[in-house]
């Protein structure tokens, strides 16, 4: 699964790199958080977690100009997809990820997969490796967090799907009547990364962004072809501080590698060697 990621770049960087036509981050978007988001939504965040609002790239026909045709937009969406038929927003906590293998079959994701696809910009993601040899103070297998990113220095573009949920307790003209949420599509981890975890986000290369975002591309077979795992070997990974496990922590220090002396029963994803037995 993907339960934490880093998105440290500015909105201007996303607009440039993802060739966004319409930056709508300043527009009001309903949040499910009780307390104000920290860092504020749309600002660089090194510890993006479920229920937070995050910058997401999607292509839609603007409601205020339906003759304009599909426009690539940058919007704030809440991480954790809430299906349109859900009774409340709590279900989103269980739908932060959508498995590529069943994306077009699962009721919660199937419609979004063929008409509401998005890209989630990220520096990379965090994953926790369960040690085969070391245990924690409670006698349970020790978990070591890793940070994983593209080895070529490019930002990641996670494949995602999004959905609209209508709060029937609010008037239609209430700005909080609608909640827009997303899930990150995951796939089987490639060789090497599978030594950290058996799943990883589906990271799309630039040459398929246009096709993935195109809302007129509603052929399930074409969508299925797009979610076939790309070639392996695009990523690099290193162990990081356990501080990332707390949502209260943020900053660039979360992605910095830790020294070998701090590792206990950690499997090197490249060689399979156990470090710090």
Q: 114 with 104: CB under 8 angstroms?
A: yes
Give the count of beta carbons closer than 10 Å to the beta carbon of residue 186: 23
pLDDT tens column, 19-76: 999 999 999 999 999 999 999 999 999 999 999 999 999 999 877 777 778 999 999 9
137 vs 233: CA distance, rounded Å = 35
Q: Are strands 117-122 and 71-79 parallel, antiparallel or unpaired?
A: unpaired
Confidence band (pLDDT; 50, 70, 90) for 273? very high
Tokens 């060697």 sit at which residue? Answer: 273
- The domain that holds 214 is classified in CATH as 3.90.1680.10
Residue 157's pLDDT is: 97
Q: How confident is the model at residue 87 (pLDDT cuts 50, 70, 90)?
A: very high
Average pLDDT over residues 213-230: 91
Cα 146 from Cα 137, distance rounded (Å):
20
Residue 203 tokens read as 């990271």
Please state, in angstroms and rounded to a whole number, the distance separating the CA atoms of residues 251 and 246. 12
Assess whether pLDDT exceeds 80 at residue 188. yes
Question: Which residue of the set 2, 118, 156, 163 is catalytic?
Answer: 2
* Distance (Å) of CA 56 to CA 77, 119, 208, 219, 224: 6, 6, 16, 23, 21
Catalytic residue among 17, 101, 118, 127: 127
CA distances from 202 to 129, 161, 242 (A): 19, 12, 24
- 108-127 residue pLDDT tens: 999 999 999 999 999 999 99
Q: At 112, phi and psi to the nearest 5?
A: -65, -35
Query: Nearest Cα to 237, choosing from 138, 160, 133, 128?
Result: 128
What's the per-residue H, E or C state across the chain?
CCCEEEECCCHHHHHHHCCCCEECCCCCCCCCCCCCCCCCCCCCEEEECCCCEEEEEEEECCCCCHHHCCEEEEEEEEECCCCCCCCCHHHHHHCCEEEHHHCCCCCCCHHHHHHCEEEEEECEEEEEEEEEEEECCCCCEEEEEEEEEECCCCCEEEEEEEEEEECCCCCCCCCCCEEEEEEEEEEECCCCHHHCCCEEECECCHHHHHHHHCCCCCCHHHHHHHCCCCCCCCEEEEEECHHHHCCCCCCHHHHCECCHHHCCCEECCCCCCEECC
* Mean per-residue pLDDT, 199-203: 97
The confidence score (pLDDT) of residue 1 equals 66
* Residue 2 is among the residues annotated as catalytic for this protein: yes
* pLDDT the model gives residue 172: 83
267: β partners: 274
Residue 171: give the domain boundaries.
Answer: 4-275
Query: For the chain, what is the domain count?
Result: 1
């Amino acid at each position: 699964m993907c339960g934490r990621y880093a998105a440290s770049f500015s909105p201007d960087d996303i607009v440039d790199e993802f060739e966004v036509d319409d930056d709508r981050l300043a527009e009001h978007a309903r949040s499910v958080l009780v307390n104000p988001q920290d860092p504020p939504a749309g600002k660089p965040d090194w510890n993006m977690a479920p229920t937070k609002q995050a910058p997401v790239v999607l292509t839609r026909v603007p409601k205020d100009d339906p003759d304009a045709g599909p426009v690539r937009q940058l919007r704030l969406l809440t991480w954790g997809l809430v299906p349109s038929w859900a009774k409340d927003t709590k279900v989103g906590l269980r739908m932060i990820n959508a498995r590529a293998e069943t994306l077009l079959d699962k009721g919660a994701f199937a419609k979004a997969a063929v008409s509401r696809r998005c890209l989630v910009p990220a520096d990379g993601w965090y994953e926790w490796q369960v040690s085969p040899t070391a245990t924690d103070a409670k006698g349970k297998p020790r978990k070591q967090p890793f940070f994983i990113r593209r080895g070529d220095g490019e930002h990641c573009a996670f494949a995602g799907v999004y959905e609209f949920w209508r709060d029937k307790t609010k008037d239609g003209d209430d700005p909080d009547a609608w909640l827009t949420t997303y899930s990150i599509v995951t796939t089987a981890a490639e060789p090497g990364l599978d030594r950290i975890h058996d799943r990883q986000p589906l990271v799309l290369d630039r040459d398929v962004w246009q096709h993935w975002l195109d809302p007129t591309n509603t052929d399930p077979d074409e969508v299925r072809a797009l979610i076939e795992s790309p070639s392996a070997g695009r990523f690099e990974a290193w162990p990081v501080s356990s501080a990332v496990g707390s949502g209260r922590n943020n900053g660039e220090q979360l992605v910095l590698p830790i020294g070998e002396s701090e590792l206990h029963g950690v499997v090197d994803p490249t060689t399979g060697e156990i470090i710090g037995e």
